[in-house]
Amino acid sequence: MKQKIQFEVNGRSEEVYVEPWKTLLEVLREDLGLTGAKQGCDDGNCGACTVIVDGRAIKSCLVLAPQARGKKILTIEGLGSEEHLHPLQKAFIDHFAVQCGYCTPGMILAAKALLDENPEATEEDIRENLHGNICRCTGYAKIVEAIEAARDDLLKKRMGKP
Amino acid sequence: MNHGANRSSSESSCSSLKVVGKSVPRVDALDKVLGRARFTADLRRNFPGLLSIRTLRSPYAHARIVKLDTSKAERLPGVRAVVTGKDCPEKIHSRAPRILALDKAIWAGEGVAAVAAETPEIAEEAIARIDVVYEELPYVLDPEEAMKPNPPAVVDPKLGQYPAGPLFTPEAPNISGHYKLRAGDIAKGFAESDVILENRFSTCRISHSQLEPASCIARYEPDGGVTLWTNGQGVYVIKGIISDLFDLPMAKVRVINPYQGGSFGSRLRHYVEPLATLLALRTKGTVDLTFSREEMYLAASTRLPVIVYIKTGAKRDGTLLAQEMKIIVDNGASYAAVQDGRLAASGAVCVYRIPNFFLDSYGVNTNTPWAGAYRGLGTTQVVWAVESQMDMLAEKLGMDPVELRRKNVLRKGEKNAYGEVIQSIGVMQCLERVAEEIQLHTPPIQEPGPWRRGKGVAMAGKQNTPRGRSEAEVLVHEDATVEVRYSADEQGMGSETVMAQIAAEEFSLPIEKVRIRRGDTERTPYDTFSASSFTTYNTGNALRRACRDAIRQILEAASQKLEAKVEDLRLVDGQIMVRGSPALPLGDLFAPFSMFTDQGAGGFKKGSPVRGHGVFAPAPAVPWDPETGLTPRMWNWFQYNACGVEVAVNVETGEIRILRGVLAADMGFPINPKMCEGQMEGGFGMAIGATILEEYIYRNGVMINRSFGNYRIPTFRQLPPRSHLKTFFAPDPLPDGPWGAKGIGEATMITVAPAIASAVYNAVGVRLRDLPLSPERVLRALAQKQSESPSAGRRATEEDSNR
């Protein structure tokens, strides 16, 4: 009944044997121990489980494990490290965009996918593109502020300025 | 964001502060952005053989359980235990609802049986194999129906037999309690009034919808006890409940609290821990009980719906003379409810000078999902009525709404209607700031099309309950690093950061040298839980005492070694200073020892930290006269808030958009200003949901919109852009608060609904008295206004031409 599924997670090739009805979220959390992606609802409406699959922000609770076969997956654990924080991670700390932290990994990855696709995303773009990621704590103000700060930081880096 | 003049004056008075009062980054943020902060469900992998729990729930609002046969479920391979109400302890805790229904289910969603199995799939299959037959009974959803002497249903047949039921009324079997306030002479007050205004307001049931569902892992221990990892609030309170319910020795119950993904009051009741414990004991194994989002709507806590009848009398000049209120608080299907509406009623008492006050509040049971604490604890719902009433009264008097409030606001040192002396109140400064920033007296600029703009303001206060007992411990090591041990919660509000700031300030240390250890009954000292916005005040005060206890021991030791007076010594970043000059590194006070030295001798030894301990508990309330409700001390202190909004209302669709928000708060002193802003913005967001989006919708007594898809909470799109959301502080320091701090978490929510409703009235001329302000309600009110007076709909248009 279990199927072999191979994919790439955070730059490493992974091979798991799982029941085909398991979601990508379950596989990441239970089989690979990557618990940064969270479960917040039953139906893909909270965004806490967001990961990046082949460059796109995806709700991993809506993807069955076999659908992830051969894909490149990035989770929060692969985005940055304590020594080398991703600009979004740094901005979320600096701008107090974190409260309970349950939405944070999904929020950061959804923001990364947006900024990868649209490096000059405006506040309006951020609000429109991330509205599937729910935060109950912050009222979103400081999250928008953090994403804008990270955007500016990334743009500067891209233009080769310090 | 900038802050008001009031704040800079308070900052200058504390200008010597280095860490407290500064927006230092959150100590938990790094772990949270890296995805390595552990929440309860993240620990599952640590438990091989972890069993999953699933619960069978009643599909009826009120039903007798005629047959309940679990044998087929028990026979399913992989099922380790099946339990029903008969397997549950008989005791009922008001903090922990009945574990499973016994004989009858009293709301749609109540647990009837539960299974622990080797996989979630097997547990679900077993649930489907339970043979249950119900006999539907009449139910009651409306609290006004439920509180009558012969109601359609008696929700909790044992109500009135529990200890501590406040003023239970036997002839009305669903009324769990009654609180009365009788101040002055109400008849005289109304007789002397020039203007009298009467209204009815209501709020609906809503969900906390914290993002992390309730979750508990319970492990049976070889000594017969249990260890719980849970996102429930208050590790020691949970320990007490579990020990009591299951007759387990206190010494054999350990409760550990990882990070909590929000609570907002939801996890102050313990609705997963008892069932998880029951099944851990049954299976002698480790079990995981995590609610689905659907269960978070059906079987977790909810916010009390409140109905308020309010009659206000005032003189022509706006002076308030009399207020009569009837407040009905809907407990839902609570077992052992002790609610009497007193907490909710406090929202009507803590802001205005009302010499003649006559108030009755009732707690009422209905066959709806049970209710408990929710950010504001009932005051939000009562403030919805009081502030809407003030806005309408101002209009009736032809007075400016800010002026009316200024005329009647309580001043420091005055007594409120309970008879309490107000010791800290910054509410008027909050309102003035908000009215100025939103430019209340400048009409909004209207644009062509169906959207009409309007502005509104409101102000209010939230009491702090004088309860809770907090202990804190500090361990000072020879390398001048400090461990803080405490047990209050960290549900996202930032208690770990505030405690680290307090310790860093007391020890004059960089915050990086402080390590927080929190929430484990085996390692961290007693605390009640984080409620009533009191963690900074209760636990913060305890921690300051713990720090000073350790510093005193260190300075006494240093005074002997240095032969200097203790008064001349200070501890600064690991250095003992004598009258300002470094004299001795802290580490030199710790003697090295070996088998050749006297290891048992007194004095500090290397490797053995100096321990400081502190306890804080607020002065207790003074019992009130049950006939008048009067007392010099019912509450402890009040946090205050004001909100101003500009909204747009679509006259074709009934939609409301929040265009601008201005928020001001009196938290006494902002220990971490950015985190205070975060509370204000977050409370505003949550309140927007409660005001325009959220409600439990029932069909045949069953809540039907039980998913995030159908129960809409605010997203990025419901909040105004950053440039249109401003926060201000107007702190009035509290004499016994840490550096004057009170609390902030709850008051941020309470003023938003009446400010929005006032702005809607300003925009389109309709008064809405029931929450939420849904498009249907707005359209209905617009249509009614149109039909009542053909010229009514013109209000906005006329104003357009004036602008």
Domain boundaries, chain A: 3-78, 87-158
| pLDDT value at B12 more than 80 | no
- The whole-angstrom separation of Cα B170 and Cα B158 is 11
Q: What is the pLDDT of residue B791?
A: 56
pLDDT attached to residue B163: 66
Residue with tokens 């301990």: B613
CB neighbour class for B668 (10 Å; exposed up to 12, middle 13-18, buried from 19): buried
Residue B299 pLDDT > 50, yes or no?
Answer: yes
CA nearest neighbour of B492 among B752, B228, B289, B233:
B233
Beta-carbon contacts of B642 under 8 Å, excluding residues fewer than 6 positions away, are B427, B430, B431, B433, B434, B457, B458, B459, B460, B663, B664, B751
Same domain? For B178 and B315 the reply is yes
* Residue of B118, B115, B117, B111 lying closest to B127 (CA atoms): B115
| B34 in A contact zone (CB under 8 Å) | yes
A3 SS3 class: strand
- Find out whether B234 and B265 touch, Cβ atoms under 8 Å: no
Chain B residues within 8 A of A114 when measuring between CB atoms: none
Based on the fold, state whether residues B390 and B438 are members of the same structural domain. Answer: no
Helices (H), B292-443: 293-298, 342-345, 379-397, 401-408, 427-437
Count of domains in chain B?
Answer: 4
pLDDT for res B162: 73
> In angstroms, how far is the first alpha carbon of chain A from the final one?
53
Q: What is the mean pLDDT of residues B342-369?
A: 97
Name every chain B residue with its beta carbon within 8 A of the beta carbon of A75.
35
pLDDT class of B52 with cuts at 50, 70, 90: very high
Report the DSSP beta bridge partners of residue B514: B482
The arithmetic mean of pLDDT across residues B512-532, rounded, is 97
Task: Determine the distance from the C-alpha atom of residue B495 to the mean position of all C-alpha atoms in its chain, rounded to a whole number.
Answer: 14
B47 touches chain A (CB under 8 A): no
Mean pLDDT of B761-788: 97
Q: With cut-offs at 50, 70 and 90, classify the pLDDT of residue B593.
A: confident
Note whether A22 contacts B: Cβ–Cβ < 8 A. Answer: no
- Which letter does DSSP use for residue B790 in this model? T
* pLDDT of B800 strictly over 50: no
Residue B161: what pLDDT? 76
Chain mean position to CA B712: 20
Bigger pLDDT: B599 vs B382: B382
Give the domain CATH number at B587. 3.30.365.10
Residues 39-78 of A with CB under 8 A from B: 39-43, 45-46, 48, 75-77
pLDDT at B112 over 70: yes
Stretch 86-115 of chain A: residues touching chain B, C-beta under 8 Å: 89, 92-94, 96, 98-105, 108
Pick A45's closest partner by Cβ from B28, B35, B708.
B708
B29 touching chain A per CB within 8 A: yes
Whether residue B787 sits in one domain with residue B726: yes
Domain boundary, last residue among B290, B314, B333: B290
Can you tell me the distance from the alpha carbon of B631 to that of B622, in angstroms, rounded to the nearest whole number? 6
Identify the DSSP state of B561.
Answer: H
Is B185 inside a domain boundary? yes
Share of chain B above pLDDT 90, in %: 90
On whether the CB atoms of residues B578 and B522 are closer than 8 A, the answer is no
For residue B691, the 8-state DSSP code is I
The number of residues in chain B equals 803
Write the residue in B26, B39, B41 that is nearest to A96 by C-beta.
B26
Question: Is residue B690 in some structural domain?
Answer: yes
Q: Is B493's Cβ below 8 Å from some Cβ in A?
A: yes
**Taking 50 as the threshold, does the pLDDT of residue B65 lie above it?**
yes
Q: Is B629 a member of any domain?
A: no
Summarised one tens digit per residue, pLDDT across range B688-722 is 999 999 999 999 999 999 999 999 999 999 999 99
Mutate which: B211, B684, B744, B749, vs A, most A CBs within 10 A: B211
pLDDT tops 60 at residue B13: no
Q: Are residues B91 and B60 in the same domain?
A: yes
Q: What are the chain A neighbours of B713 within 8 Å (beta carbons)?
A: 134, 136
Instruction: Tell me which residue in B44, B262, B686 faces A100 most closely, judged by beta carbons.
Output: B262
Give the one of A30, A93, A141 whose C-beta lies nearest to B25's C-beta.
A93
To the question of domain A3-78 being in CATH 3.10.20.30, the answer is yes
| pLDDT at residue B797, rounded to an integer | 42
Query: Residue B207 domain-assigned?
Result: no
Handedness of CA A152, A154, A155, A161 (dihedral sign): positive
Give helix A104-117 / helix A87-94 axis angle, nearest 10°. Answer: 130
* C-beta atoms of B293 and A104 within 8 A: no
Closest CA to B712 of B202, B205, B209, B213: B209
| Higher pLDDT pick, B162 / B215 | B215
Among B220, B223, B219, B218, CA closest to B251: B223
Q: Average pLDDT in the B64-80 region?
A: 98
Is ipTM beyond 0.90?
A: yes
Mean pLDDT of A14-30: 97
Q: Are residues B245 and B226 in the same domain?
A: yes
Per the CB < 8 A criterion, the answer to whether B174 and B155 are in contact is yes
Closest-CA distance of chain B to residue A27, Å: 12
Q: Is residue B35 part of a domain?
A: no
C-alpha triplet B668, B674, B675: angle, nearest 5°: 70
CB B306 within 8 A of CB B340: no
CA angle B631, B199, B755 (to 5 degrees): 85
Co-location of B458 and B497 in the same domain: no
Question: How big is the A-B interface in CB pairs under 8 Å?
Answer: 187
DSSP helix/strand/coil, B616:
strand
Domain check: are B322 and B398 in the same one?
Answer: yes
Do B599 and B649 lie in a common domain?
Answer: no
Residue B415 lies in a domain: no
Same domain, B796 and B666: yes
Q: Is 50 exceeded by the pLDDT of residue B2?
A: no
- On whether both B258 and B128 belong to a single domain, the answer is yes
**End-of-domain residue from the set B562, B582, B616:** B616
Q: What is the pLDDT of residue A156?
A: 95
Is B597 a residue whose pLDDT tops 90? no
The verdict on B285 touching A (C-beta cutoff 8 Å) is: no
Q: Which residue blocks in B567-723 are alpha helix, DSSP H?
A: 673-688
Q: Which residues of B touch A94 (CB under 8 A)?
A: 25
Domain end point (choices B572, B588, B616): B616
| Residue range(s) defining the domain that contains residue B354 | 138-202+302-410
Residues B418-431 pLDDT 10s: 999 999 999 999 99
Q: What mean pLDDT comes out for the span B311-318?
A: 98
Whether B233 has its CB under 8 Å from any CB of chain A: the answer is no
Mutate to test the interface with A, among B1, B30, B33, B727 (most CBs of A within 10 A): B33
Q: How many CA atoms lie within 13 A of B117 on its CB side?
A: 21
Residues B704 and B555 in one domain: no
| Statement: A87-158 belongs to CATH 1.25.40.420 | no
Interface of A with B in 121-140 (CB under 8 A): 123-124, 126-128, 130-140
Task: Please indicate, yes or no, whether residues B434 and B317 belong to a single structural domain of this protein.
Answer: no
A36 and B716: CB-CB below 8 Å? no
Mean pLDDT of B65-78: 98
Our CA-based measurement puts residue A24 at a distance from the nearest CA of chain B, in whole angstroms, of 16
Residue B801 lies in a domain: yes
Tokens of B269: 């009741």
Rounded mean pLDDT of B553-563?
A: 97
Q: Do B211 and A46 touch (CB under 8 A)?
A: yes
**Window B:306-365, CB contacts with A under 8 Å:** none
Q: Give the per-residue pLDDT at B5.
A: 37
> What's the pLDDT tens digit per position in B180-200?
999 999 999 999 999 999 999
A136–chain B nearest CA distance, Å: 6
Number of C-alpha atoms within 13 angstroms, CB side, residue B790? 0
Average pLDDT, chain B: 94
Average model confidence (pLDDT) across chain A = 97
pTM: 0.96
Which H or E run contains B577? strand B575-578
User: Is the pLDDT assigned to residue B3 strictly greater than 70?
Assistant: no
Interval A48-106: pLDDT, tens: 999 999 999 999 999 999 999 999 999 999 999 999 999 999 999 999 999 999 999 99
Residue B479 lies in a domain: yes
